[in-house]
Copies of this chain bind each other. A is one copy, B any other.
Amino acid sequence: MEKIYHIGVEATLDVIGGKWKPIILCHLGNGPLRTGELRRRIPTITQKMLTQQLRELEEDEIIVRKVYNQVPPKVEYYLSDEGKTLRDLLVTMSVWGEKRVKRLQAKGQPVELLSQGHEGYLKF
């Protein structure tokens, strides 16, 4: 079936939307990672969701899945060329979100951004 978007944002959200994709993409922003390493860095994601989201990102040609022919298996994921162009966008989006969180916190609202304070948690 043909995909139909009203505006460009929808095409973007179609690719990076959902609970886990931004997180996965951020982790892949610093170079290739093996499946297990990704899982360790995103402790609350389940096996199924990780694989599912990785498959969708691969299908959308945002990441590349490289299989080493070994036992036990070794699989690496890394950003494709198009995926790399997403990095700047994700950074821009993050900056806006961080400002918003600070604004809300300044107003005393109960919001927390784990990537702040918790050193070495995530780049963006």
Contacts and interface: CB of A to CB of B under 8 A. Distances in A.
A23 B6 contact: yes
A51 interface: no
Contact of A122 (B7, B113, B122): B7
Interface string A41-70: 000000000000000000000000000000
Contacts of A93: 8-9, 12-13, 89, 93
Nearest to A15: B100
B86 A12 contact: no
Count the copies: 2
Interface string A76-109: 0000001001100110111111111101000000
A122 B6 contact: yes
Contact of A22 (B9, B103, B113): B9
Q: Which 6 A-B pairs have the closest CB atoms?
A: A8-B94, A8-B97, A11-B97, A12-B97, A2-B110, A8-B98
Interface of A: 1-13, 15-17, 22-23, 26, 82, 85-86, 89-90, 92-101, 103, 110-115, 121-122, 124
